[in-house]
Amino acid sequence: MMLVCQRVGTCSSCLKRQLNGSLGLIKWQRRLVPACVRTIYSETGKWEKSYGLETRKRVENWWLPRIKDQFCKISETDKSRPKFYVLSMFPYPSGKLHMGHVRVYTISDAVARFHKMRGMQVINPIGWDAFGLPAENAAVEHGLHPASWTQSNIQHMREQFDALGLSFTWEREITTCLPEYYKWTQYLFLKLFEAGIVYQKEALVNWDPVDQTVLANEQVDDNGCSWRSGAKVEQKYLKQWFIKTTAYAKAMFDALSDLPDWYGIKEMQANWIGDCVGCSLDFLLKVNGKVTEEKLAAYTYTPEAIYGASHLYILPTHRLLHGNSSLKEVFQREFIPGKDSLTSVTAVNLLTNQEIPVVISAKTNFENFLNTKIGIPSTSAEDAAVAKSLGISFTEVTETLPNGLEKVINSGEITGMTRQEALKTITQQAKNKGIGGDLTSDKLRDWLISRQRYWGTPIPIIHCQTCGTVPVPYEDLPVVLPSVTTFTGKGASPLETASEWVNCSCPRCKAAARREVDTMDTFVDSAWYYLRYTDPHNTDRPFNNDLADYWMPVDLYIGGKEHAVMHLFYARFFSHFCHDLKMTKHKEPFHKLLVQGLIKNRTFRLTTTGQCLKREEVDLTGTEPVYVKTGEKLQVAWEKMSKSKHNGIDPEELVKEYGIDTLRLYVLFAAPPEQDILWDTKTDAMPGVQRWQTRLWTLVTKLIEARTSGTMPNPDLLNKKEKAEARKIWEQKNLVISEVTEYFTKDHLFNAVISRLMSLTNVLHQASWPLILHSAEFEDALATLCIMVAPMAPHIASEMWKGLAHMQNKLCTHHHWDVDVLHQSWPKVDPEYLQPSAVVEMSVLINNKACGKVFVPQQAARNFEEVHELVLQSELGVKHLQGRTIKKAFLSPRTALINFLVQE
């Protein structure tokens, strides 16, 4: 670890000290608390009867610091216990939480607390996806170093997280811009390099001709101009680093079938990958019989027919015609626009050693993302037509037998094989030689990871004139970012200016060499972070295999739908790769996936310009919103909250106005997780959860008052009717436990969880005073309700439990009254409730009107004749049906109801 610190330099060491230093405590919440006498039970031993604004503030202020650190400190992993790994996608440290953050992290918090109460060993880790372009833009615009900007934002966001009472496993915190993290990102890059899965080739980038710099896509405006200089952006070829994700396409496509339902995300993954029916094979290019340094990978849908290849087909937009290739001049000279152009360049198949001509296509595009294809006339009528029109000879390599079986002919050692056998043989031979052969689709492209930026993970490569491209030795990792002080947003990457860092010695020949000045796409940092969480402080390797095998896969992964394709694909790719290196036993990183919807708010736009207005610029007093200044009618739409659209809501302000628990309950109750929430606090959701908390508090107040009234509770004093009511409370409690537990574990329908808990609250509110005073069922149901509320609203639940725990004359002894509610065991359904009842309470209707109930034996309840006879013989039947003409009767066993139609 000392070696890492010594290499860090000013930038990284300062960042580490600032990130790990004292972060201050809960600034939002401290501003909430008024300087007045506190009267909540936890402080005074006196129960406050009403749950108003001041009581809520005192409750949350008291419990927030007390429950913050008691959640899940796991210094040692106990592998004998069942585990639950809940992970919400880690945030970019932009500096301010938005409502989308509040939603995703409230969900993970509630799930983590629930599973901990079920006795699981739980981790709910958090970290920071801390590299990225915004930090560099801040350096250009405001003169702030990216490290300083990032650490300041992290500090502020940590305080905001704390103020929401979120139960993260902070001891596992990771920050991707610290050398102790990106050392292992570089380590994995080198493993990919060794496996031949990392390579360089020319690719197009956005080029600002005025500032002479590369632009990210988000730095190009809708008119195709640079965000800074205003110049028209050009496309330019630069040598870029790629990860060959196509090598894992088929394995990743096939593995989707073993995963549970992902709310349609599996289909999105499958569509992104595409049908993996073909593969690419490598060719060496020659001109005038001389071998060049150019190598080309070309795709074919029928690798088994490769011996029948007649030509290589490239598009007119191919890099060989526009980049820095030595063959550019030849191709441009021999290309005839609008026609298939046979060139003097030939391509040698590195698998079969066949030499075929290169043809520039008359087409402007091939299928999907292909720009290079192998022409095989035997399996493609189009390829046959091109070959014939250009006078290129070819050989038939497939034949169909009388029985319909297709075999391969004229194909060397694979002659006589079926097409399926030949496919397996050819692809395996190509893979063994490292010249392609991985089954993939025509849609999937390899992952371009080069970024001409400073604030990213340095690519651990050294360029030597003698030795070529040389990987940095493992013992020299991490390659630490140098401390660059000037950021202009112009010219080459800022790393180019750090001459002492760029100029180095070749690890092999010790001659003068240069470091790679590109940094990695931040998607690389987030493609393996879930594995680092399993062993975040390991200084010897990325993670311990045994710990990764215990914690992985992530049991529930939570995040936005916008990350359901690219990030998920890259994370799955890295997991498959680590599995192949025997670093993990699990191929797939995530078991269940919960994709939460957006939180949207209204935007108000001028119809003339499309400009978004601030709320204070809109007059909402009339039937339609209008512009305050002109009275102009506005375009109104529900859109994702955004600072630029002036429709964002500051969570800090909501905490001030409504409280932490109310905000948490709102985002859980307003809609199912996968649906969007349309933000409007005037609708039922916000007032609804506010009223519910008040009703919960009132129930606790009623019970405390009953037990301190001077009358000793005695269940024997309940009459028959009250005992029946107590039984219904007991049944309702068990039903709600069953349903809520299922919602938490299977569907994650937190809105339904809250709805069911509200229904139990309503049942308890209907209880009579004798029932509250004397019934163990009421006390148990209320205690159980508090426990089930706790994962979602931990502050009010903690205070209510404290009040119940110190209540005198309790009737229920099975609860652990001496520990806080968040340390209670999650309630289980009583075994008696699971046993079928000996009797069924049958509702009796006469001419569709209810007239009472009759108890019938369970075994008779589904038999029409038996139920009919038992009702007629009952006291109710004698009273209401004797002597009357029964025209018809209907039995519904499912609803335990019989309806008699009688003549009036």
Question: Considering only 319-333, 494-508, 593-607, which range has the smallest mean pLDDT?
Answer: 593-607
Provide the residue type at 50 as one letter.
Answer: S
SS3 474: helix
Count CB neighbours of 259 within 10 A.
17
Average pLDDT, the chain: 90
CA-to-CA distance for 525 and 189, rounded, in angstroms?
Answer: 11
CA-to-CA distance for 400 and 404, rounded, in angstroms?
Answer: 6
- Model confidence at 359, pLDDT cuts 50, 70, 90, reads very high
C-alpha distances in angstroms, 586 versus 47, 439, 477, 548? 52, 22, 27, 9
- pLDDT, tens digit, 9 for 90 and up, residues 797-814: 999 999 999 998 999 989
Compare 155 and 896 and report the one with higher pLDDT.
155
- Tokens read off for 386: 């091109």
Q: For residues 498-520, give the mean pLDDT.
A: 96
Q: In Å, how far from its chain's centre is CA 569?
A: 12
CA-to-CA distance for 298 and 314, rounded, in angstroms?
Answer: 9
Cα dihedral sign for 859, 865, 871, 873? negative
CA-to-CA distance for 588 and 556, rounded, in angstroms?
Answer: 13
- Model confidence at 898, pLDDT cuts 50, 70, 90, reads very high
CA atoms within 13 Å, Cβ hemisphere of 397: 28
pLDDT of residue 641: 82
- Tokens read off for 716: 């024997």
Helix axes 685-707, 750-765, angle to 10 degrees: 40
- Tokens read off for 444: 């999937």
CA atoms within 13 Å, Cβ hemisphere of 864: 7
Is the separation of the CB atoms in 237 and 317 below 8 Å?
no
- pLDDT, tens digit, 9 for 90 and up, residues 230-250: 889 999 899 999 999 999 999
Is the separation of the CB atoms in 240 and 448 below 8 Å?
yes
Q: Give the rounded percent of residues in the chain with a pLDDT score beyond 70.
A: 94
Cβ neighbors of 385 (< 8 A, separation 6 or more) are none
CA-to-CA distance for 55 and 659, rounded, in angstroms?
Answer: 11
Tell me how long the chain is. 904
- Tokens read off for 22: 């004292």
Q: For residues 331-359, give the mean pLDDT.
A: 97
- If we measure between CA atoms, which residue out of 366, 129, 369, 373 comes closest to residue 245? 369
- Model confidence at 683, pLDDT cuts 50, 70, 90, reads low
Q: Is the pLDDT of residue 25 over 70?
A: no
pLDDT of residue 45: 83
pLDDT of residue 686: 87
- pLDDT, tens digit, 9 for 90 and up, residues 666-680: 999 998 988 888 887
Cα dihedral sign for 538, 539, 542, 544? negative
In sequence order, what are the beta bridge partners of 242? Answer: 199, 448
pLDDT of residue 261: 80
Question: Considering only 220-229, 398-407, 420-429, 609-618, which range has the smallest mean pLDDT?
Answer: 220-229
- Tokens read off for 233: 């952006």
- Model confidence at 699, pLDDT cuts 50, 70, 90, reads very high
pLDDT of residue 449: 93
- pLDDT, tens digit, 9 for 90 and up, residues 806-855: 998 999 989 999 999 999 999 999 988 877 667 788 999 999 999 999 98
Q: Is the pLDDT of residue 1 over 80?
A: no
Buried b (16+ CB within 10 A) or exposed e, 299-327: bbbbbbbbbbbbbbbbbbebbbbbbebeb
CA quadruple 64, 65, 66, 68: dihedral, nearest 10: 80
Which 8-state DSSP code applies to residue 478?
A: -
Q: Is the pLDDT of residue 874 over 70?
A: yes
- Model confidence at 74, pLDDT cuts 50, 70, 90, reads low
Q: Is the pLDDT of residue 310 over 50?
A: yes
Provide the residue type at 901 as one letter.
Answer: L
Is the separation of the CB atoms in 426 and 467 below 8 Å?
no
pLDDT of residue 28: 41
* H or E stretch covering 28: helix 27-32
Q: Is the pLDDT of residue 38 over 50?
A: no
Exposed / middle / buried, residue 161 (Cβ in 10 Å: 0-12, 13-18, 19+): buried
Q: Could you tell me where the DSSP H helices lie in 581-719? A: 651-658, 660-669, 685-707
C-alpha distances in angstroms, 463 versus 509, 727, 769, 805? 12, 79, 84, 69
Helix axes 660-669, 99-117, angle to 10 degrees: 90
- If we measure between CA atoms, which residue out of 405, 352, 406, 391 comes closest to residue 374? 352
- pLDDT, tens digit, 9 for 90 and up, residues 599-625: 888 899 988 888 888 888 999 888 888
List the Cα angle 86/91/96 in 5-degree steps.
Answer: 130
CA-to-CA distance for 693 and 458, rounded, in angstroms?
Answer: 51
Residue 355 backbone dihedrals phi, psi, to 5 degrees = -115, 125
pLDDT of residue 831: 85
- Strands (DSSP E) contained in 666-821 are 677-678
CA-to-CA distance for 845 and 842, rounded, in angstroms?
Answer: 10
Q: Is the pLDDT of residue 196 over 70?
A: yes
Count CB neighbours of 668 within 10 A.
24
CA-to-CA distance for 877 and 873, rounded, in angstroms?
Answer: 6
Is the separation of the CB atoms in 455 and 131 below 8 Å?
yes
Is the separation of the CB atoms in 519 and 457 below 8 Å?
yes
SS3 136: helix
